[in-house]
């Protein structure tokens, strides 16, 4: 008997019909308190060696329908090793076509990053002896909002802030942080040691723990898109942003990276603060220096494709990067990774995945080191 289940961390799908493995009808489930829908993550059992054709009938109603073009779904038998499976989008229906080789298989929009992994990441960082975990407050559902502080915290230190996963379905963002943390906390890594002699890092690996556990694509438990809350956050609706922003105001910021995933573009790219009121030639020069350094550090990064740049003074100040960059007159970038494959370096078996995100996080430290002497 074929069965589909989602009663686990971040599980999400609606089952419509499940009688015929060659015609399984599914639907995307919206975020718990908003209309955003695109994330899916479910377990299929009882279909060993059967050709399973799974149709998402409402794919055209997803938050980003262009995200389905040239997209391949992720699958895993053990939730550790994920691979891509044949997927097609036609006439508004997303179809996954796969023959499982085992009785239990998982499918997901992207390689998940569970709450257990998140807590283990915090514990491993603390165990290094170089990192302190601070509790900034609680989410809407009562989960911890944790900040990792790494460095000497002296006044002369550069203040490097990194936030990830404001949008919970963008799990590649926390994979990125895992890679960055792993290198930063390595006492044998010369780049890390040099950085920690000159900077204190403030890192929030998961800005949206509620949305992550709920299987949301874009919002927290109250239905707030956290990356539209930075101008005027509230404890009731967006405590995650409120408490992080308050700590930023205490420490100051010299460099800010906000880590995301983009549904549509098959590239790694950054978006800067050219549209904010305080943008100036110094920031423009730092942006160019950082991009060039990241280009040299990782062939996965490119600067040809990305978002259209904001006109001067026309930036949306509710976005984290724009608010932070303008408030602290600092280098601030949104870094985006693909849900699809990286078109510059495609991998038919795995596409863009957790490990590639992790390696990019490691490489980002080289770009930070390159600009650190010019941040003030």
Using the 3D structure, point to which of 40, 74, 108 is the last residue of a domain.
108
Rounded distance between C-alpha atoms, residue 125 and residue 111, angstroms:
22
Q: Looking at residue 69, what is its pLDDT?
A: 98
Q: Does one domain contain both 148 and 255?
A: yes
Q: In this structure, what is the dihedral angle of CA atoms 328, 121, 224, 137, given to the nearest 10 degrees? A: -70
Q: Looking at residue 338, what is its pLDDT?
A: 98
Q: Does one domain contain both 256 and 183?
A: yes
Q: Looking at residue 87, what is its pLDDT?
A: 98
- Could you give the number of structural domains in the chain? 2
Question: Which is the catalytic residue, given 111, 229, 263, 336?
Answer: 336
Using the 3D structure, point to which of 77, 108, 139 is the last residue of a domain.
108
Q: Looking at residue 277, what is its pLDDT?
A: 98
What's the mean per-residue pLDDT of the chain? 98
- The 10s digit of each residue's pLDDT in 94-150 is 999 999 999 999 999 999 999 999 999 999 999 999 999 999 999 999 999 999 999
Q: CA nearest 366: which of 264, 289, 306?
A: 289
Rounded distance between C-alpha atoms, residue 49 and residue 100, angstroms:
6
Q: Does one domain contain both 312 and 166?
A: yes
DSSP strand pairing (52-56 vs 73-76): unpaired
Identify the helix (H) or strand (E) that includes residue 177. Answer: helix 172-184
Q: Does one domain contain both 34 and 155?
A: no
Q: Does one domain contain both 67 and 88?
A: yes
Look up the CATH number of the domain holding residue 33.
2.60.40.3120
Using the 3D structure, point to which of 108, 141, 166 is the last residue of a domain.
108
Q: Looking at residue 79, what is its pLDDT?
A: 98
Alpha carbon 343 to its chain's center: 19
Q: Looking at residue 104, what is its pLDDT?
A: 98
Q: Does one domain contain both 58 and 169?
A: no
Look up the CATH number of the domain holding residue 348.
3.40.630.10
How confident is residue 29, by pLDDT bands cut at 50, 70 and 90? very high
Q: Does one domain contain both 131 and 274?
A: yes
Q: Does one domain contain both 157 and 291?
A: yes
Q: Does one domain contain both 97 and 163?
A: no
Q: Which domain holds residue 37?
A: 3-108
| Phi and psi at residue 262, to the nearest 5° | -115, 130
Q: Looking at residue 125, what is its pLDDT?
A: 98
Q: Looking at residue 72, what is its pLDDT?
A: 98
- The 10s digit of each residue's pLDDT in 305-354 is 999 999 999 999 999 999 999 999 999 999 999 999 999 999 999 999 99
Q: State yes or no: is 362 an active-site residue.
A: no
Cα(first)–Cα(last) distance of the chain, in Å?
Answer: 64
CB 169 within 8 A of CB 105: no
Q: Does one domain contain both 85 and 212?
A: no
């Amino acid at each position: 008997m074929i069965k589909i289940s989602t009663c686990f961390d971040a599980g999400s799908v609606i089952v419509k019909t499940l009688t015929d493995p060659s015609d399984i009808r599914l639907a995307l489930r919206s975020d718990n308190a908003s209309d955003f829908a695109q994330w899916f993550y479910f377990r299929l059992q009882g279909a060993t060696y059967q050709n399973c054709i799974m149709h998402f009938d409402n794919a055209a109603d997803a938050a980003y329908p262009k995200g389905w073009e040239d997209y391949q779904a992720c699958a895993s038998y053990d939730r550790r090793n994920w691979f891509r499976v044949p997927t097609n989008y036609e006439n508004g229906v997303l179809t996954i076509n796969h023959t499982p080789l085992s009785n239990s298989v998982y499918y997901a929009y992207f390689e998940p990053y569970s709450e257990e992994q998140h807590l283990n990441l915090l514990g491993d960082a603390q165990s290094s002896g170089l990192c302190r975990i601070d509790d900034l407050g609680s989410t809407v559902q009562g989960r911890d909002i944790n900040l990792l502080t790494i460095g000497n915290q002296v006044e002369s230190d550069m203040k490097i802030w990194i936030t990830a996963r404001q949008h919970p379905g963008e799990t590649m963002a926390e994979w990125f942080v895992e890679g960055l943390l792993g290198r930063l906390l390595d006492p044998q890594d010369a780049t890390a040691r040099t950085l920690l002699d000159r900077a204190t890092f403030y890192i929030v690996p998961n800005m949206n723990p509620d949305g992550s556990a709920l299987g949301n694509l874009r919002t927290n438990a109250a239905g707030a898109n956290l990356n539209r809350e930075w101008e005027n956050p509230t404890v009731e609706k967006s405590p995650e942003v409120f408490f992080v922003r308050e700590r930023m105001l205490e420490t100051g910021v010299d460099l800010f990276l906000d880590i995301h995933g983009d549904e549509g573009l098959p590239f790694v790219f950054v978006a800067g603060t050219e549209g904010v009121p305080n943008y100036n030639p110094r920031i423009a020069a730092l942006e160019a220096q950082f991009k060039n350094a990241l280009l040299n550090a990782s062939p996965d990064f490119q600067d040809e494709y990305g978002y259209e740049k904001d006109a001067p003074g026309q930036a949306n100040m509710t976005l984290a990067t724009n608010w932070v960059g303008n408030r602290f007159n600092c280098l601030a970038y949104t870094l985006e990774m693909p849900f699809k494959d990286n078109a510059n370096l495609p991998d038919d078996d795995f596409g863009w995945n957790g490990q590639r995100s992790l390696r990019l996080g490691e490489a980002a430290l080289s770009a930070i080191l390159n600009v650190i002497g010019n941040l003030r």
